[in-house]
Each structure stands twice: as structure tokens, then as C-alpha cells.
Amino acid sequence: MTNEVILQVKDLKTYFTVDEGLVKAVDGVSFDLHKGETLGIVGESGSGKSVTNLSVINLIPTPPGKIAGGQVLFHGKDLLAMPQAEIRQIRGNKISMIFQDPMTSLNPFLKVSTQMIETIVLHQGLDKDAAKQKAIEMLKLAGIPAPEKRIDQYPHQFSGGMRQRVMIAMSLSCNPEILIADEPTSALDVTIQAQILEIMQELTKRLGTAVILITHSLGVVAGTCDTLCVMYAGRIVERGPTDVIFEDPKHPYTKGLIRSVPRLDVENSERLYSIQGQPPNVIDLPDCCPFYPRCEKAMDICKKKYPAIANFEQGRAVSCWLYSGAKDE
């Protein structure tokens, strides 16, 4: 990780219009991504992790969705203001993606070789033979045995874990600057997850790729991410270096979340902590802290106004009235 910021997300807002009202799926999200950094986004189902990242690459289905505000600066250029033709040059090339289910991005009717060669030829301007060599090399790096044979197989001939490795090989074959991985291991077994995460880390480190890793697993984040964003109901409630946040979580939601996960490495004979209640429905959310009904530390002000962001040393930011100071009411 270096000090060079390559992606800046600024006050991003993405809304969906549905029959029941307005879904503020992402409502004022900001973060920076540095060259070579692995940034984790954690949060519960529906908190806006996937929508954040689909917005970053300008892939929000419109309608029902709409980017209602904000900027996504990639080397200073706003991806949200770019013509589609230009962003298509970036997507899959400078910024590539892996999803939870590799079958959504692999074409089941085409051999892996065809799909990989096409991408490499398109984005890197290599001829077909050179592209095939490159593809084989990437598959090998991703841990596919006998890649020169397997490359001519169809996606369904691979197991789930192997398909995800094919996806990693494919998405890194154009030396992207940013890899966005949306729950890349959530559908896999732990032993396969460990393989995939290791391959992903090793390859991105070697190639200097920055990674945005979306997951709901605090364990995965702890082992892989330099920085962490914790999302709740469409906002980032806490952001900072991963080790610092785990050591000293500030937002009551982050605190509760960390204490709610059972751990393998400690003798936990006592009862597991539970955050009471349920995550909110993000339809027509009132303009106050969405966590207050579940918060042990809730104060009057929490029901009235959304907390401003409080900044701490080491680039930490927390969005909670405990820290933003209820004084400016």
C-alpha cells in the first residue's frame, strides 16, 4: 500500500424507486483507495455494499436506480460523469470485478479460452496466440493444474472453487489497477476459501493491484484487509485501519458486531453478545441515526439528526453522536 490515492469516492448517493417508496441504498458514502491497498467493506445484508461498488463502476440499473449525487474520481476523473464508451474502456480493464457466483460473469456456452483470449485481445492489443499464452500463465498463477489443457474446457466442467480461480485469473489478466471482489468466497467451503484468498492476496500483491473486498465475514476482513469500512443502512458508520478498528472499535454497531461473532481461538464459555432488534428496512428512512433503535448508547439527539463524521488520528472516521459531539444541536 502506498500514499498514492487512485480512487476517491465522495459523498456517493444511489437511490432506487420501488412501489413502497424510495430506497436510499447508498446515502453519502466516501472513502479513498490507495495504490496496492486492500480495502474491506463489511456490513449486514442490505446495507448497501454491492450497490456502492456497482455505483463505482457506473453499473446501476436505471430505472429503478439512480445515482443521486456524489463523485467517483479515478485518477482525478469522475467515472460518473464519463460517457459510456469511455467507461467501457476502464471497466474490465483498469478496474475489474469478481462476483460471488462466478457463473454470473462466465458465459456457460463458451470455452474458458475463448472468454479469456477475447478480453485480453480487446484490452491489451495482443494477438491471439500471445493472448492465449498470457491466459494460460494467469490460470497457472491462480492455481489451476494443467492449465494448457483445462483452458479449453467449459465453465461447468470446473468445480465452484476452480471457477472462482478462473474468475480471478480472468479479472487479473489485464493487470487492472483495481479489483473489486464482491463476496468472492461466500459460496465456498472454508478450505477452498483459504485457497482463494491466499491466491488473491499473492497475485494482487505481486501485480500491485488495489482491492475492494466486499464481505459479511469479519474473519475474512481481519486476515486480508489493510483498511476497513463498516456499513449500516446505506452509510459508512466507521472507517479506518483494520487492526486499529478491531483493537478499539468506536461505533456501537462496530463494537457489537465484533462481539457477536463466536471465536475459535478463545475459551468462550460465557454467553455471546447480541445486538438487539433487526437491521432497518432502508425504505423511506428518517433522517437520523438508523442504528439508534438498536443502540445501547442512544441519546435524544440520535433520533433527531444524522451524526456528523468525527475524525480521529490514523485516518479513522466515525459517524456517531458519541463522538461528533451533541453540542452543536
Partner 1 sequence: MSKTDLLLDVRNLKMHFPVKGSFLSKTQNYIYAVDGVDFSISRGETMGLVGESGCGKSTTARAIAQLYKPTGGEVYLKGKDLIKASAGELMEARKNMQMVFQDPYASLNPRMTSGDIIAEPIRIFQKRGLVDMGKDAMNERVEQLMERVGLSRFFKNRYPHEFSGGQRQRIGIARALALQPELILCDEPVSALDVSIQSQILNLFKDLQQEFGLTYLFIAHDLAVIKYISDRVAVMYLGLIVEISGAKDLYKKPLHPYTQALLSAAPIPDPKVEAQRRRIILTGDVPSPDKQRPGCYFYDRCSKRMDHCKTQRPRLKETEDGHQVACFLYHDPE
Q: Please report, as ranges, the residues that interact with partner 1 according to CB under 8 A.
A: 44-45, 159, 161-162, 189-195, 198, 216-223, 242-243, 246-247, 256-258, 260-265, 267-268, 271-276, 278-279
Q: Which is nearer to ligand ATP, 177 or 238 (CB)?
A: 238
What one-character-per-residue DSSP string does 200-255 give?
HHHHHHHHT-EEEEEES-HHHHHHH-SEEEEEETTEEEEEEEHHHHHHS--SHHHH
Which listed option, partner 1, Mg ion, ligand ATP, none, makes contact with residue 48 (CB within 5 to 8 Å by class)?
A: ligand ATP
Those residues whose C-beta lies under 8 Å from the C-beta of residue 130, and which sit 6 or more positions away, are none
Q: Which three cell numbers stand for residue 203?
A: 497475485
CA 80 to chain centre: 18
Compute the least distance from the CB of residue 273 to partner 1, in Å.
7
Please pick, from the candidates 18, 272, 299, 308, the single residue that binds ligand ATP as defined by CB under 6 A. 18
With beta carbons less than 8 A apart as the criterion, state whether 53 and 242 touch. no
Residue 13 is a binding residue for ligand ATP (CB under 6 A): no
Residue 162 is a binding residue for ligand ATP (CB under 6 A): no
Compute the least distance from the CB of residue 4 to ligand ATP, in Å.
28
Q: Which is nearer to ligand ATP, 51 or 174 (CB)?
A: 51
With beta carbons less than 8 A apart as the criterion, state whether 294 and 275 touch. yes
Residue 216 is a binding residue for ligand ATP (CB under 6 A): yes
Compute the least distance from the CB of residue 175 to partner 1, in Å.
25
Which listed option, partner 1, ligand ATP, Mg ion, none, makes contact with residue 193 (CB within 5 to 8 Å by class)?
A: partner 1
Angle at which helices 112-124 and 160-172 cross, to 10° = 20
Residue 64 is a binding residue for ligand ATP (CB under 6 A): yes
Radius of gyration of the chain (CA): 21
Q: Which is nearer to Mg ion, 50 or 209 (CB)?
A: 50
Fill in the DSSP letter of residue 283: B
With beta carbons less than 8 A apart as the criterion, state whether 306 and 288 touch. yes
Q: Which residue is nearest to Mg ion (CB)?
A: 50
Round to whole Å and give the CA distance between 50 and 41. 9
With beta carbons less than 8 A apart as the criterion, state whether 245 and 230 touch. yes
Compute the least distance from the CB of residue 217 to partner 1, in Å.
7
Binding to ligand ATP (CB under 6 A) within 253-292 occurs at 282
Site of interaction with ligand ATP (CB under 6 A): 16, 18, 23, 25, 43, 45-51, 61, 64-65, 216, 282
